[in-house]
Amino acid sequence: MVVAPAPGIRHASGVGVRDATLADLAALIDVQQLGAVRAVGHIFPQDEYPFPREDLRARWAAEIADPGIEAYVVDDDAGAIVGFAALRGDELLHFGTAVETWGTGLAAEVHGDLMRRLAARHVTRARLRVFEENHRARRFYQKLGWLPTGRVSRTSFPPRPLLLEYALDL
């Protein structure tokens, strides 16, 4: 069943953050795929480990339906999806913006909104995991005050690279 989007927050820049719906999945996955291939293609060479589009589509569908996960899309003033995010408890579970928005400040703006949402739920320390070899993302998070915790894990997607945990005091 497709559910109408919940009212979202519209930022001064013209972008809005709203609840993700099943109707958003194709566009959300398009944004995620382009960014992932650009940012972590060296970790997941596409000829050997192609972007797992259908697996991620199924995961997002399950997360949108899960009441314990807040799944969001970011849309521009024309209604095109230019980002995505998901929160679970104190964790920034997923976060990304369209490649064409990189370097514009959009990610920092949306990140601030997400952290305010966590703080409003009385979360005092947020967590996330980022690929060890995703240097661009690590620089972004560190610039915003995130610090490594020393905890490591591995993704479930082959070749199962390391994920580093970061934390941010809110």
* Predicted local confidence at residue 3, as pLDDT: 31
* Cα 33-97-108 angle, rounded to 5 deg: 155
Per-residue pLDDT at 7 exceeds 50:
no
Q: What is the DSSP string of 59-119?
A: HHHHHHH-TTEEEEEEE-TTS-EEEEEEEETTEEEEEEE-GGGTTTTHHHHHHHHHHHHHH
Residues 75-130: tens digit of each pLDDT: 999 999 999 999 999 999 999 999 999 999 999 999 999 999 999 999 999 999 99
* Predicted local confidence at residue 70, as pLDDT: 98
How far apart, in whole angstroms, are the C-alpha atoms of residue 157 and residue 13? 35
How far apart, in whole angstroms, are the C-alpha atoms of residue 112 and residue 120? 12
Averaged pLDDT for residues 26-38: 98
Residues 41-75: tens digit of each pLDDT: 999 999 999 999 999 999 999 999 999 999 999 99
- The CATH H-level superfamily of 9-124 is Gcn5-related N-acetyltransferase (GNAT) (3.40.630.30)
